[in-house]
Every structure is written in C-alpha cells, then in structure tokens.
Amino acid sequence: MSSVAYTPLQLRCQQIEKQLRQLSLESFAFPQLGSERLIGNADCCQTSVTSLEQLQLWLPLLGTGTEVIPSPLNPQTYWLKLASPTAPLLPYGDAHGYVSSAEILLGLSKGLTSFPGVQAIELNSNRTALFVQLQDDSESFQLIPTVSVNNPEGQRIYSLVPNGRGNWVVSSRLMLSHR
C-alpha cells in the first residue's frame, strides 16, 4: 500500500476546505456549499503554485432549486433564476427572483469574518472574487464562488462564476471535481 505525500501547501488547502465547509454549516451569512471538492489551481499540486498567495480557490455553491437562463442582452451572460422557494441560494436573490453574484460575494465576505485567522477580506478589482488575507500565513488567497450546471443525469456540464456585474458567466476552466 503506497502512501501519498502531500506538500505543505496541499495540506493547508485541505485545512482551508475543511474550515470553509464548517463555516458553511455554522454561519447563516455564508452560502451552503455543494458536494464538489473545493479546488484551486490544479488542486494545489501544480509545481508553479508554490504559495497560498498564488492560489485561486473555487468555492462550489449548492445551486439546487435554481434554473440557468441565458441573457437575451448578452450571449456570454447568464442569469440564475430562483425556481424553488427552498433553494439554498434564496437569501442571495434580487428583487426580480434571480441569484445575484454580487450578493453571494457580500454573503461570503460577511461569513468569512468568522473564518479562523482572517485578517482582511477584499473584493478583487473586477468584482468576481474575494481576496482573503490570513494572519498566520501572512499571505492571501483568492476565493471564487461557482455554481455547477448539470445535465438531467446530474453530471456537470459547466460551471458559472460571477461576472462582476451581479450576473454569471461560464467558467473558462472546469476546476471542480466530484468527491
């Protein structure tokens, strides 16, 4: 039986994932997470990713009870319609019944205030992710919320990420893996 040797960065990523999942269960401000693994730049194992500071973590949100609708105004923009009164993303809906990626980022920011060791949380310049500064690491990582879009069989077709204007765009990378 061979044992897998994890790098300190991989171990730290696993610890962050565990803490984020716990936060999702404990904080009403923090969105519920989906079953996909929280993944970053090639699961934190690319040799080019040598520090937490270079890491982008994709946070899989629980998107059940929503429906994806392409925007008639822009073919790259998608709306996430709240299709069920029990949708986990209901608290992040706008006045028109759509999940606002801006509200998701705000909820994440509020929820992260109770994340262990957080020194600062900042919205990135294009308003699509959060930078999280940790005290103990003196480093930061980027947190990108994502919603999986599945086919009728439940297999992920693509993932949506914030577009910086409250809506969603298709991710250019499929960075989520199933547990």
pLDDT per residue of the chain (179 residues) written in tens, 0 to 9: 556 667 777 777 788 888 888 888 888 788 998 887 766 654 444 445 555 556 778 889 999 999 999 999 998 999 999 999 999 999 999 999 999 999 999 999 988 888 878 888 888 888 888 988 877 656 678 889 999 887 788 777 888 999 999 999 998 654 333 32
Is-contact 143 85, C-beta < 8 A?
no
Task: Please report the DSSP string for 45-68 in residue order.
Answer: T-TT--SGGG-EEEEEE--TTEEE
Residue 139 is given by DSSP the state E
Is-contact 51 28, C-beta < 8 A?
no
The CATH number assigned to the domain with range 58-171 reads: 3.30.460.90
- Would you state the pLDDT for residue 174? 45
Tokens linked to 80: 């996430």
- Would you state the pLDDT for residue 42? 43
3-state class (DSSP) for residue 41: helix
- Would you state the pLDDT for residue 17? 84
Residues 6+ apart with CB under 8 A from 16: 38, 57, 141
pTM over 0.85: no
- Would you state the pLDDT for residue 53? 57
* Spatial separation of the C-alpha atoms in residues 141 and 144, rounded to whole Å: 10
Domain boundaries along the sequence of the chain: 58-171
